[in-house]
Chains A and B, each alone.
Chain A
Amino acid sequence: MSDAALRRLNLRATLLAILGAGALLAVIFGPAVFDRFTINVLTRSMIYAMLAVTVDLLWGFTGVLTFGQAAFFGLGAYATAMVLTHIGASPALMVLAFVLAFLVPLLVGLIVGWLSFGYKATPLYATVISLVVPIVITQLAFSGGHWTGSSSGLVGYGTLPLSLKGYFRLSGICLLIVATAAFIFVRSDAGKILVAIRDNEARCAYLGLNPERIKILLTTVLAGVAGIAGFLFANATGVVAPENTGFVFGTELVIWTALGGRGTIIGPIFGTIGIDYLSATLSGELPFLWNLIIGALFVIMIILLPNGLAALVDRFLPGGKRSQASGAAAIFGNEAASAEGSFKEKPLLQVKDLSKSYGSLNVLKGLDLDVRPGELVSLVGPNGAGKTTVMRCLSDGTEMTGGTIVMADRNVAGLTPNEIVALGVGRKFQVASVFDSLSVADCLRLARAKRLSPSPLRRSSELDLPPAAADILKLTGLDRLLDQPVSLLSHGMKQSLELAMVVTLEPRLILLDEPTAGLTKTERTTIGNILQKLTRELGLAIILVEHDLDFVRQISSRIVVLHQGRLVLDGTVEDVINSDVVKSVYSGGAHV
């Protein structure tokens, strides 16, 4: 990284440090300056800002639009108020209230997460669930009678022995803790996974990560955080009502986050405090006009400036766009286990009678195929022959409709992509599938995340790669672009990067779907050499789908011909190239 870039980053870090220190001073000395009304309003705003940070982690960073944080907040607030109202407010019970305010939303969050994120569930479904949850909780609050105070809520219970100023400081410190924790997490290696899921969830799964489980975990933990915010709110305001848990409040949280700037931590905090404070001060004078302005601003913002005000500020701040990409990365080629010689004789992959149909349409019919370590098997055939479908079935056990696939002695039926990756299968897609918002180094680090669990605190400056992957980087020149955001890479570079990511997984079998499509002649030769090295020297098995028969002839050890969903030929390069069947298949007159 250049000195100038380093200086820009340093300036940014200094600015952040100043901001943090300023916030701390404001929290400590603010109550001495502000009047009663301002202290009251800001206390509430800061609690809401904690919620906005959780909304942002889910929506801005991970891409899950949620209205449900309001429900978890309400659950925490109601749990607190119910303990304090119906049991009592002794110090021990206060601790109980706190624990319940954390655990109840945590548990509900776990259930909601499990409901929202099944394998192959659409992103819209999570949003649907996040709408239903606050509605259900609100109705429960309404129907709770004496227990929840119905429509008037709970009021007049004993709270923490703190003054107005004390609550202001407590909320401020909690907000600072939440913000700092979130800030450290999203910049850490583990935090990058969130952005990776937002960018390209399928790729995450095919890197062996489990996006569903990560999202469930995130939902659960953030539900607990929202519950703690609810505990604070119940104490600080002394009243809990159904609207604190409702879907409209959930939408407000999203609006504040959006206006402040999704995908940043500071944006939603300022958005929430600013808008909530202004609402409180202005709504007396222009009650309906104020909401009208907020609504209109929100619409305009979503359309024209989807990343909120923070993006606007970011444009004028030094550092700018580059901040997403992490620091210089030194590559370490580690000595990883490579060829497993003893396996040579035994097939790594055994496919028997594989079939796949969509309703009455049979795309694959009774396919048999064995692949041994060290083989480079090319799958050829005209368009629609079922080549990509074979790849899909091999990498996702939920796809096939008949037959068996055994990979490394395990039947893969019903396994999800990340479980198949764990068996040693890497897949490269036809269209380069990488993470556009991350840097090259981050992408490769994510490919490593399955093996070296990434730290949730630290951001590593090193890149620990298997030698084969490091070779690919050197051969393609990607090693000089490690800090580049992926979105700036050329098409060919993205293809190479994806290949490097797949090799980084240290798989025993690699599935490549047209890895050379759209590449130049030189790039093609480079990739060909790499593939040959992977199979001949390192003993990996490769299945390659390819249209370019010259390329196939040069590098394959075996060729398999597919036609109309059937395997019509399986043999050495010479066998297949000289066969009449292939000629007739490609000239279109095949009768099989």
Chain B
Amino acid sequence: MIILLDIITTAAILFIVAAGLLAIFGVLKIINFAHGAWLTVGGYCTVVTTAWGISPWFALPFAFIVGAALGALTELFIVRPLYRRPLDAILATWGLSIVIGQLITLWFGRDMQMVPNLLSGTIEFFGVSYSVYRLFTVVAALVIGLAFAFLLDGTRLGLSARAVIMNETLARALGIDTAKVRLATFMIGTGLAGLAGVLLTPLTSVDPNMGVGWLIGAFMLVMVAGSSFGSLALACLVFGGAQVLVSTFVSPIFGSITVALLCALVLRVSPKGFARE
């Protein structure tokens, strides 16, 4: 039972972390290698709200706004000139993540920060006691997933975004302002990354490098998922599940590379991964 819960909550956490990266990759075909830095920024938003003496729950909207605002600047000045050079975009955003990491270090110091838990304690669940917070991540993942489903299928922005995914040239010819769609998408993606950073604070230590460790896993999952949130959820369940099983039965160290290794193999066999096109 514990293992089952572990698998589901691990998948949920991976989904939360990868969602922002997928939003950007899906529409813009750009890999935001500064994703880890945004997770860190989100984590430090909790540090800030704590310093202000308000509830860590306020860190969630705060991190979304900060993440989106920084994302807007990034899209305008760094990513926009590089849409035609996707490999260079990976490098430029990686350089940006170094800059952000160092700025955070200069501001807050390099030490680990203590922040209050969003939720603490355990709950009896089918006869086992399990961390309330980990169960909450499942709810958070569902909310994010459903919000995206609504955004893509129920709003004008979503319609434009889907048009840009399918055929950008045509979308532009039809009068869709693709530059605006890109900006909005990038902001949503980075806002989500900030949000994910807050949600990670109870699970990991908050320090200037907290995001980097999550980057590669998220990156690999997004590569496999392509541009669909459905396939991302599936990928998180399959590879997150594999990670939990390997960590439990083989060794935690091998567990930590399971996601990356399996994703690489899946992509070798089927270059489109789980994406259905």
Supply 10 further A-B pairs (C-beta < 8 A) apart from A136-B261, A139-B256, A296-B99: A124-B86, A124-B87, A128-B267, A254-B91, A255-B91, A288-B106, A295-B99, A299-B96, A302-B91, A303-B78
Majority SS of interface residues in chain B? helix
Q: B208: nearest residue on chain A (CB-CB)?
A: A288
Question: Given contacts A128-B223, A288-B102, A289-B102, is CB(A299)–CB(B78) below 8 Å?
Answer: yes
- Contact A143/B260 with A254-B91, A291-B98 known, Cβ cut-off 8 Å: no
Q: Is the interface of A mostly helix, strand, loop or mixed?
A: helix
CB proximity of B168 to chain A, nearest CB, Å: 18
A270-306: CB near B (< 8 Å → 1, else 0) gives 0000000000000000001101101110110011001
Interface string of B228-266 (1 = CB under 8 A from A): 000000000000000000000001011011001101100
Does the CB pair B95–A255 fall under 8 Å?
A: yes
Q: Decide yes or no whether B92 CB sits under 8 A from chain A.
A: yes
Q: On chain A, which size bracket covers the interface?
A: 35 or more
B82 touches A302 (CB 8 A): yes
Hey, which bits of chain B sit against chain A, CB under 8 A? 31, 78, 81-82, 85-88, 90-92, 94-99, 101-103, 105-106, 110, 212, 216, 219-220, 223, 251, 253-254, 256-257, 260-261, 263-264, 267-268, 271
Chain A 114-145 interface 0/1 with B at a Cβ cutoff of 8 Å (1 = within)? 01001011111101110110011001001100
Q: Is A167 an interface residue (CB 8 A)?
A: no
Distance (Å) between the CB of A167 and the closest chain B CB? 30
Min CB gap B156→A, angstroms: 30
Measured CA separation A251–B98 after assembly (Å): 11
Residues of B within 8 A of A234 (CB): none
| A41 within 8 Å of B (CB atoms) | no
Contact with B along A395-430 (1 / 0, CB 8 A): 000000000000000000000000000000000000
User: Any chain B CB within 8 A of the CB of A247?
Assistant: yes
How far, in angstroms, from A255 to B90 measured CA to CA in the complex?
12
Q: Answer yes or no: A65 CB below 8 A from chain B CBs.
A: yes
Instruction: For residue B242, give the distance in angstroms from its CB to the closest CB of chain A.
Output: 15
Query: Which of A115, A121, A294, A302 interacts with B88 by CB under 8 Å?
Result: A302
Provide a sorted-by-A list of 16 A–B residue pairs whose CB atoms are within 8 angstroms: A128-B219, A131-B219, A132-B220, A132-B260, A132-B263, A136-B260, A139-B254, A289-B102, A289-B106, A292-B99, A295-B101, A299-B99, A302-B91, A302-B95, A303-B78, A303-B81
B223: which A residues are within 8 A, CB to CB? Answer: 124, 128
* Cβ distance A403 to chain B, nearest Cβ, rounded Å: 25
State whether A302 touches B92 (Cβ < 8 A).
Answer: yes
Residues of chain B within 8 A (CB-CB) of A132 are 216, 220, 257, 260-261, 263-264
Least distance between B253 CB and chain A CB atoms (Å):
4
| Closest Cβ–Cβ distance, residue A422 to chain B (whole Å) | 25
Q: Indicate which residue in B94, B257, B264, B268 contacts A118 across the interface (CB closer than 8 Å).
A: B268
A380: Cβ under 8 A from any B Cβ: no
Q: Which of B91, B95, B260 counts the most A-chain CB atoms under 10 A from its CB?
A: B95
A303 touches B254 (CB 8 A): no
Q: Write out the residue numbers on chain B whose beta carbons fall within 8 Å of the beta carbon of A291.
A: 98, 102
Q: In the complex the two chains form, what is the Cα distance from A142 to B256 in whole Å? A: 12
A131 close to B216 (CB less than 8 A): yes
Nearest first, the 3 A-B pairs at minimum CB distance are A295-B98, A298-B95, A292-B102
A262 to B88, CA, bound (A): 12
In the complex, what distance in Å separates the CA atom of A115 from the CA atom of B97?
29
Does A65 lie within 8 Å of B95, measured CB to CB?
no
Q: How far is the CA of A128 from the CA of B106 in the complex (A)?
A: 31
A269 interfacial by beta-carbon distance below 8 Å? no
- Are the CB atoms of A295 and B102 closer together than 8 Å? yes
